[in-house]
């Protein structure tokens, strides 16, 4: 063979393909492309292209005010549907609003205020057709617990109220900024598993809190964890009020039965939708007729007539309470954003229209900012209410307007009717709503499909129930992040084998009939190579080679000559990854083996080229497919080396 040890196969065997280095791009172009992919993956500006300026202006207006898009096409038929849906959700919104406001330690009337202004804003700015705006239990509880640490709602109700407005304002600012800065993907880091566990935990905690109302207790723990609550409940059994308890259990039973019935027969969704209002009316009548308010059954009492007073001057924008307000705003903001976005997305999936997450965030943000100026607290798109809206056949966001107008009438004329509404009915309404948030089926699905996701879910649940809502949230986010980091730090590597009678090479663990090629170790790296995993990959590849050599030694097969790295799945590489490949090459060569690369992607080839690693490895050792690489190695094995050729290995190549 002349002077060289190896003869490049192309001189003997036809070599049809080579791995190409993508044409060089100016840095600024790549940079802009990356920016676009990071912040504008849905390409929202696409429709603006090739349009005259006037049309662009209209499109821009429509972008921020989506109602401009559908309003011209709005018909009477749409309105009929929206009217029914709007009245239905209003009947749910009024008792729920009052209940959640109590949960947040805020005046009950705030629940009604919050169902008036924010839905109007959302109707103009939101792009979901099914979302019904309102307050939610988890954010209410979080507000109570985070603001409660700073100010006692009973001792200083005015300051507490103003802090709630301020927190709402900052939640809105935060939400709108996320949307404007196209950072919506931050919400994606709260994984579905996290949210299932967190929501179930929060629902459990909220239910536990209702024991106060149901049992008519006057003293209650400030803690939200299950241990404190149960200790508080059972340490004062003598204080339990049976009147309250009986009333509560009756209404809870009524609500649960209607829920169960509506779930079985979706056509009768309105039964469970109307049940809370019916309970309120029945409960108020019972108290009014029996004067139960004088026998230990607490009632709402006086509610002020009239629309939302302005609260813009009430915002607390100075220390010492500013930090708490901002913190509460950001945390409740992101939690309710996650719920609202998820709800909007689910229903848009059903009806097949597109929702722009960032645009929705701007809408949520603006609606909360407007809310904080008009005596509302944090609102979002709750799942239960939106589902009722969807089932009631809503067509557009006009159902939110109808709901707002209904609530407006209630505020103007009907508030005295709630005077005798017993708190225990509100507790029953909350418990019944919360039970829907404990999605044990989703948890079981997680267990079945992905055990790690189940662990994440349960950690969030346990954190919320045994710690506090904040602790649960921190644990959930930390575990989610840890999971991302673990994903990155520990990618999978596989040994590939040849499928019989083919030129296809696949993972031998997945394909039991794939068999290895003597003298050649084929490894697949299943993830991008970055600083976070390059040390691991180097050690793991070395271990694969060790294990293969041990195996060969004990079995007496052809000794190992080539290590083929299939880079198909290596989408990207950074400088640490490049060093790793260089080091692996050195390790392999020092053992007298040859490194062969297969199918590096565009980015990888570019960086291998720039770091001059292609020349070091040798262009002839970089192949387009595993089959070609194995072919070239086999050719060299059998023509230059004294190894006896084996049927199975040479067969593969000769078949071509």
Within residues 101-120, the interface with its own copies by CB under 8 A covers none
Residue 544: other Cβ atoms inside 10 A: 16
60, 301, 309, 571: residue in contact with its own copies (rule CB under 8 A): 571
Q: Which positions from 304 through 323 interact with its own copies, judged by CB under 8 A?
A: none
Nearest approach in angstroms of CB 444 to its own copies is 12
Q: Residue 460 and residue 473: Cα distance in Å, rounded?
A: 7
Contact by Cβ (8 Å): 518, 558: yes
Contact between 381 and its own copies by CB under 8 A: the answer reads no
Write each residue from 412 to 451 as x if it is in contact with its own copies (CB under 8 A), else as -, in one continuous string.
Answer: ---------------------------------xx-xxxx
Shortest distance, position 385 Cβ to its own copies, whole Å = 23
Could you say which residues in the range 53-92 bind its own copies, by CB under 8 A? none
Site residues for its own copies, 452-491, by CB under 8 A, read 452-453, 480-481, 483-491
Compare residues 61 and 484 and give the one whose CB is closer to its own copies.
484
> CA nearest 572: which of 531, 546, 601?
601
Q: Where are the beta strands (DSSP E) in 415-558?
A: 493-498, 505-507, 520-525
Select the residue interacting with its own copies from 156, 575, 619, 655 (CB under 8 A).
Answer: 575
Pick the piece of the chain touching its own copies (CB under 8 A) from 197-205, 214-222, 350-358, 633-641.
Answer: 350-358
Nearer to its own copies, 194 or 209 (CB): 194
For its own copies, the closer of residues 206 and 446 by Cβ is 446
**Does position 271 bind its own copies by CB under 8 A?**
no
CA atoms within 13 A on the CB side of 509: 6
Residues 195-254 touching its own copies, rule: CB under 8 A, are none
For 453, residues 6+ apart whose C-beta sits below 8 A from its C-beta are: 191, 192, 193, 446
Q: For residues 453 and 158, is the Cβ–Cβ distance under 8 A?
A: no
Q: Does 528 bind its own copies (CB under 8 A)?
A: yes
Cα separation, 310 vs 341, in Å, equals: 28
Within residues 14-33, the interface with its own copies by CB under 8 A covers 16-17, 20, 22-23, 27, 30-31
Three-state secondary-structure class, residue 517: strand
Contact call for residues 375 and 308 (beta carbons, < 8 A): yes
Using CB under 8 A as the binding rule, whether residue 554 contacts its own copies is answered as no
Q: Is 314 helix (H, G, I), strand (E, B) or coil?
A: helix
Least spacing, CB of residue 493 vs its own copies, in Å: 9
* Cis before 320? omega within 30: yes
Strands 505-507 vs 493-498: parallel, antiparallel or unpaired? antiparallel
Separation between Cα atoms, residue 77 and residue 394, nearest integer Å: 11
- Least distance to its own copies from the beta carbon of 343, Å? 14
User: Least distance in Å: CB of 521 to its own copies?
Assistant: 17
Give Cβ neighbours of residue 401 (< 8 Å, ≥ 6 apart): 82, 86, 119, 120, 123
Cβ 397 to its own copies, closest distance in Å?
22
* Residue 95: half-sphere exposure toward Cβ, Cα within 13 Å: 29
Report yes or no: 485 and 530 within 8 Å, Cβ to Cβ: no
User: Which letter does DSSP use for residue 574 in this model?
Assistant: -
CB 378, min distance to its own copies, A: 23
C-alpha span between 11 and 334 (Å, rounded):
63
Measured CA to CA, the distance from residue 206 to residue 42 in angstroms comes to: 38
Specify the stretch interacting with its own copies by CB under 8 A; choose among 83-91, 144-152, 187-195, 392-400: 187-195
For its own copies, the closer CB: 144 or 588: 588
The distance of closest approach from Cβ of residue 352 to its own copies in the complex, given in angstroms and rounded to an integer, is 5
Comparison of 453 and 548: residue with beta carbon closer to its own copies = 453
Q: In angstroms, what CA-CA distances link 201 with 189, 215, 384, 468, 483?
A: 19, 22, 17, 9, 20
Q: How far is the CB of 177 from its own copies (least distance, A)?
A: 17
Under rule CB under 8 A, residue 36 binds its own copies = no
37 is a site residue for its own copies (CB under 8 A): yes
Cβ proximity of 43 and 654 under 8 Å: no
Which span sits near its own copies by CB under 8 A: 225-233, 276-284, 321-329, 508-516? Answer: 508-516
| Segment near its own copies (CB under 8 A); pick from 6-14, 34-42, 407-415, 419-427 | 34-42
Q: Nearest approach, Cβ of 308 to its own copies (angstroms)?
A: 35
Nearest approach in angstroms of CB 614 to its own copies is 12
User: How does strand 493-498 pair with strand 520-525?
Assistant: antiparallel
User: 540 is written with which tokens?
Assistant: 């793991």
Closest CA to 637 of 500, 514, 518: 518
Which one of 228-236, 284-292, 369-377, 504-512 is the stretch in contact with its own copies (CB under 8 A)? Answer: 504-512
573 forms beta bridges with: 529
Residue 8: strand pairing partners: none
DSSP label at residue 129:
S
576 near its own copies (CB under 8 A): yes
Stretch that binds its own copies, among 172-180, 252-260, 348-356, 397-405 (CB under 8 A): 348-356
Q: Which of 263, 291, 492, 551 binds its own copies (CB under 8 A)?
A: 492
The nearer residue to its own copies, 168 or 194, going by C-beta atoms, is 194
The answer to whether residue 272 forms part of the interface with its own copies (CB under 8 A) is no
Q: CA-to-CA distance for 5 and 316, rounded, in angstroms? A: 81
Write down how long the chain is.
656
Applying CB under 8 A, which of residues 101, 532, 581, 632 lies at the interface with its own copies? 532
CB of 499 to its own copies, least distance (A): 6
CA distance 262 to 271: 7
Q: Is 359 in the site for its own copies (CB under 8 A)?
A: no
Please state the closest distance from residue 34 (CB atom) to its own copies, in A. Answer: 8
- Footprint on residues 580-639 left by its own copies (CB under 8 A): 583, 586-587, 590, 599, 601-603, 605, 607, 610-611, 624-625
Is residue 425 within 8 A of residue 213, CB to CB? The reply is no
Of 362 and 446, the one with the shorter C-beta distance to its own copies is 446
Residue 412 Cα distances to 373, 375, 416, angstroms: 19, 16, 10
Site for its own copies in 161-180 (CB under 8 A): none
Number of residues that bind its own copies (CB under 8 A): 94
């Amino acid at each position: 063979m002349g002077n060289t040890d190896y003869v490049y196969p192309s001189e003997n065997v036809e070599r049809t393909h080579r791995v190409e280095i993508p044409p060089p791009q100016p840095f600024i172009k790549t940079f802009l492309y990356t920016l676009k992919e990071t912040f504008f993956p849905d390409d929202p500006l696409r429709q603006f292209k090739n349009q005259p300026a006037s049309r662009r202006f209209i499109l821009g207006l429509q972008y921020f005010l989506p109602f401009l898009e559908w309003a011209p096409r709005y018909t009477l038929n749409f309105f009929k549907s929206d009217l029914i849906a709007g009245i239905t959700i209003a009947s749910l919104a009024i008792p729920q609003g009052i209940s959640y406001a109590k949960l947040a330690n805020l005046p009950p009337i705030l629940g009604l205020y919050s169902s008036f202004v924010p839905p109007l804003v959302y109707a103009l700015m939101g792009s979901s057709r099914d979302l019904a705006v309102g307050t939610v239990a988890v954010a209410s509880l979080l507000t109570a617990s985070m603001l409660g640490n700073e100010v006692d709602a009973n001792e200083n109700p005015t300051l507490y109220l103003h802090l709630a407005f301020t927190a709402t304002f900052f939640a809105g600012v935060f939400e709108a900024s996320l949307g404007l800065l196209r950072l919506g993907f931050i919400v994606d880091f709260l994984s579905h598993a996290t949210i299932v566990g967190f929501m179930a935990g929060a629902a459990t905690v909220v239910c536990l809190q209702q024991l106060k109302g149901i049992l008519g207790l006057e003293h209650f723990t400030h803690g939200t964890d299950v241990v404190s609550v149960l200790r508080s409940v059972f340490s004062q059994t003598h204080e339990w009020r049976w009147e309250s308890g009986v009333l509560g259990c009756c209404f809870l039973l009524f609500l649960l039965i209607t829920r169960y019935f509506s779930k079985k027969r979706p056509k009768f969704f309105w039964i469970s939708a109307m049940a809370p209002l019916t309970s309120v009316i029945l409960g108020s009548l019972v108290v009014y007729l029996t004067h139960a308010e004088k026998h230990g059954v607490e009632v709402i009492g006086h509610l002020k007539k009239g629309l939302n007073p302005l609260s813009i001057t009430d915002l607390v924008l100075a220390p010492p309470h500013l930090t708490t307000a901002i913190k509460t705003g950001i945390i409740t903001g992101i939690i309710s954003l996650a719920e609202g976005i998820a709800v909007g997305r689910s229903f848009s999936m059903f009806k097949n229209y597109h929702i722009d997450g960032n645009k929705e965030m701007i809408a949520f943000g603006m609606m909360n900012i407007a809310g904080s100026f008009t005596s509302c607290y944090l609102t979002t798109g709750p799942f239960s209410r939106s589902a009722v809206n969807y089932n009631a056949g809503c067509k557009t966001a006009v159902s939110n307007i109808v709901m707002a107008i209904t609530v407006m009438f209630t505020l103007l004329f009907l508030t005295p009717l709630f005077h005798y509404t017993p708190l225990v009915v509100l507790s029953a309404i909350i418990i019944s709503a919360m039970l829907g948030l404990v999605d044990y089926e989703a948890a079981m699905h997680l267990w079945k499909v992905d055990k790690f996701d189940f662990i994440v879910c349960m950690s969030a649940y346990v954190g919320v129930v045994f710690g506090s809502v904040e602790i649960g949230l921190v644990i959930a986010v930390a575990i989610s992040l840890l999971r991302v980091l673990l994903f990155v730090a520990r990618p999978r590597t596989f040994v590939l084998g040849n499928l019989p009678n083919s030129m296809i090479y696949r993972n031998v663990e997945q394909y039991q009939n794939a068999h290895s090629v003597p003298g050649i170790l084929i490894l697949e790296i299943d993830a991008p190579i970055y600083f976070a995993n390059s040390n691991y990959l180097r050690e793991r590849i070395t271990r694969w080679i060790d294990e293969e050599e041990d195996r060969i030694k004990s079995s007496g097969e052809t000794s190992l000559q080539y290590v083929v790295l299939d880079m198909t799945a290596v989408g990207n590489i950074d400088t640490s990854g490049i060093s790793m490949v260089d080091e692996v090459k050195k390790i392999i060569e020092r053992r007298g083996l040859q490194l062969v690369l297969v199918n590096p992607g565009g980015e990888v080839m570019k960086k291998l080229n720039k770091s001059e690693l292609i020349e070091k490895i040798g262009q002839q050792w970089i192949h387009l497919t595993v089959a070609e690489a194995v072919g070239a190695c086999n050719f060299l094995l059998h023509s230059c080396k004294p190894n006896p050729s084996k049927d199975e290995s040479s067969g593969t190549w000769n078949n071509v």
